[in-house]
Structure 1
Amino acid sequence: MRELTYYAAVTIDGFIAGPDGQFDGFVFEGSHPAAVGEKYVGAVNTAMADAIGLPIDGGPFDTVLMGWNTYAVGLPDHPSPYSHLRQIVFTREHTAPEGADGVDFTDRDPVEVVRALKAESGKGIWLCGGGALAATLRDEIDRLALKRNPVLFGGGIPLFAEGGYAPERWRAPVITPYESGLVLAEYERG
């Protein structure tokens, strides 16, 4: 069965973006981008990968899931941001913009969609964001791969949107620190 991995950058105070959706405070320099990129090949915007010569084939994922706000970060320049992957955007209010070839926009229940995807054959499924979608899919997430950045935002979009409090323990089989201060923390459902 395929696994759903929530792979995202996050601050040490638990935010995936600032109050206005900004993410420019994350650490992009140092030794970690190449090392993390090698482990998670293909988990980068197709145009960016092409522009800087990053490989996109052979990675752990063949499908990427996004909420509308995560998807819209790249608009209007990148209406099909991960064209090398199967792209699914969850939205009830928006329609496909021009040029969004290969992107499936759906208002279906994310849990039902993920369960159907997991039953298919293929590689892993990448939950790219955002926090509201992650909260909806919380019980379906098999792995967390968090690029914990050494910054505080003090507010913004949390890794998981607020919801019912239900403590849950996860195992951390791999923690990899980098000189830049970023820590790749990979967790498995406990």
Structure 2
Amino acid sequence: MRELVYYVAVSLDGFIAGPHGEFDAFLVEGDHMDGINADWADTIPTAVAEHLGIAQNRSVVDTVLMGWNTYAVGLPHGVVSPYRHLRQLVFTGSHAVESDEVEASAENPVEVVRRLKAEEGAAIWLCGGGALAATLAGEIDRLVLKRQPLLFGSGIPLFGSRPYAPERFDEVGTTAYRSGVVVSEFERIRD
């Protein structure tokens, strides 16, 4: 069965973006980038990977899930299909996507993910945002957190509002970089 992987950059105080979706404070230069780009090339926007000469073969992930706000980040810049090398699903009940390469869904994200997990293929990447992550928390099999040496103070939390419901994950690997970025991977403990 395919895994749902929540792979995301996060500040030390638990935010994946600023209060208005800002993410430009995250470090995109430094020794951490070579490791991230090698291990997670499929999570780089297609145009960026092409510009950098990074091959994307869909071996790690082949599907990306986004909430509307995550998808909409690129729209003012004319980016209507950010991950055109992947199957792209955007969860929205009120917006239309501007590309035939992107699927919009108003369905319950949990039901969609359960169907996707039953299909053949590589992992499913939960790109963001925090509200969608909160909805899908029980379906997440693996967390890969790119902890950045930053405090945001406020913003969009890693997991939006969700009721108190402890769920256990085991750390399976951590790499600390000189840049201060720490990439930690966790697997869900299933009963």
TM-score normalized by the length of structure 1: 0.96
Matched, 1:26 2:23: no
- Deviations along 1:32-70, one digit per CA (max 9) or x if unpaired, are 111111111211111111112122124300000000000
Matched, 1:82 2:83: yes
Q: How does 1:28-177 map to 2 (within 5 A)?
A: 28-76=28-76, 77-97=78-98, 100-177=99-176
Residue in structure 2 matched with residue 187 of structure 1 by the alignment: 186
Cα distance between partner residues in 2 of 1:19 and 1:58: 32
- Choose 114-123 or 70-79, whichever is displaced more: 70-79
> 2:7·2:143 contact (CA, 8 Å) conserved in 1?
yes
> 2:12·2:147 contact (CA, 8 Å) conserved in 1?
yes
Structure 1: segments with no counterpart, 5+ residues: none
> 2:58·2:122 contact (CA, 8 Å) conserved in 1?
no
Aligned residues: 188
Cα distance between partner residues in 2 of 1:33 and 1:59: 19
Cα distance between partner residues in 2 of 1:30 and 1:95: 37
> 2:58·2:86 contact (CA, 8 Å) conserved in 1?
no
- Deviations along 1:96-153, one digit per CA (max 9) or x if unpaired, are 22xx121000101100000000000011000000000000000000000010000000
Cα distance between partner residues in 2 of 1:39 and 1:140: 23
Q: CA deviation at 1:31?
A: 0.9
Cα distance between partner residues in 1 of 2:56 and 2:93: 30
AA at the equivalent of 2:3: E
TM-score normalized by the length of structure 2: 0.96
Task: Specify the SS of the correspondent of 2:112.
Answer: helix
Cα distance between partner residues in 2 of 1:56 and 1:175: 23
Cα distance between partner residues in 2 of 1:147 and 1:131: 15
Structure 2: segments with no counterpart, 5+ residues: none
Structure 1 residue runs of 4 or more that deviate by more than 4 Å after TM superposition: none
Task: Specify the SS of the correspondent of 2:26.
Answer: coil
- Give the superposed CA RMSD: 0.9
Task: Specify the SS of the correspondent of 1:176.
Answer: strand
Cα distance between partner residues in 2 of 1:87 and 1:16: 20
Cα distance between partner residues in 2 of 1:53 and 1:66: 25
AA at the equivalent of 1:95: A
- Deviations along 1:73-113, one digit per CA (max 9) or x if unpaired, are 1114210110000000000110122xx12100010110000
- How much identity, in percent, do the aligned residues show? 57
